[in-house]
Homo-oligomer: A and B are copies of this chain.
Amino acid sequence: MAERAHRSPATPRPVVPLSEVEEGSPAQRERRRRILEATLALATKGGFDAVQMRAVAERAGVALGTLYRYFPSKVHLLVAGLAHELSRVLERIERAPVPGATAAERVLLVLHRNTVALQRDPHLTEAMTRAFMFADTSVAEEVRQVSRLTERMLTHAMGVEEASDEDKDIARVIGDVWLSNLVAWVTRRASAEDVENRLALTVRLLLSARDR
């Protein structure tokens, strides 16, 4: 990745809070929005390799240095984009209870919908998945945010009132398996059907006990 040794940044990162940002002047929020938009567009068109920092900056109409001020690396940028998208999805999902008689059914429905949506934009999925998996400790905060969002999505689907620790653990395991399968799909080691089957198996094994 041609990283020079990270020094303590001369241009300190502005306080960009983790969730949807209301930080900064309107002009700054607008810049941030345009940067993420450019990122998504480039990722959708050509995947991870097409998200080139110079290209993102140009497309967003900001200087390269400014891009780095908002997002300290390409991986930060892509993972932030993932978190952004995910939080939009979650917002929609949480507005209503998930249909389905059992937790297993509901979780599978949510997984299925998301998987289908992701497979509709394979390049975008590839870009985000690879960034997420390549992230090192410096991106831990953004990665954690994505994990939390995923967990919330799955516990919501499970339909528990207040998620217990075990509920959360199970949600995390399902999330792990989901991600692994997404990676396998992205690298063409698994077909869409494989992914659905493996998710179904996992959910069945993990959740069948809780549904009578």
Q: Which of B135, B169, B179, B206 contacts A206 (CB 8 A)?
A: B206
Binary interface profile of A, 135-149, with partner B (CB < 8 Å = 1, else 0)? Answer: 111011001100100
A87 on the interface (CB 8 Å rule)? Answer: no
In the assembled complex, which residues on chain B have CB atoms less than 8 Å from the CB atom of A49?
A: 1, 3
In the assembled complex, which residues on chain B have CB atoms less than 8 Å from the CB atom of A209?
A: 205
A201 on the interface (CB 8 Å rule)? Answer: yes
In the assembled complex, which residues on chain B have CB atoms less than 8 Å from the CB atom of A147?
A: 189
Q: Which of B2, B134, B176 contacts A176 (CB 8 A)?
A: B176
In the assembled complex, which residues on chain B have CB atoms less than 8 Å from the CB atom of A144?
A: 189
Q: Which of B1, B136, B205 contacts A187 (CB 8 A)?
A: B136
Q: Is the interface of A mostly helix, strand, loop or mixed?
A: helix
Q: How many angstroms between the C-alpha atoms of A137 and B181 in the bound complex?
A: 14
Number of copies: 2
- Residue in B closest to A3 when the chains form the complex, CB atoms: B49
A188–B134 touching, CB < 8 Å: no
Binary interface profile of A, 191-202, with partner B (CB < 8 Å = 1, else 0)? Answer: 000000010011
A170–B205 touching, CB < 8 Å: yes
In the assembled complex, which residues on chain B have CB atoms less than 8 Å from the CB atom of A188?
A: 137, 140
- Residue in B closest to A181 when the chains form the complex, CB atoms: B176
Q: Beyond A126-B136, A176-B176: 20 further Cβ-contacts under 8 Å?
A: A1-B1, A1-B2, A3-B49, A130-B133, A130-B134, A133-B134, A137-B187, A137-B188, A140-B187, A140-B189, A143-B189, A144-B189, A169-B201, A170-B205, A173-B177, A173-B202, A177-B177, A177-B180, A180-B180, A206-B206
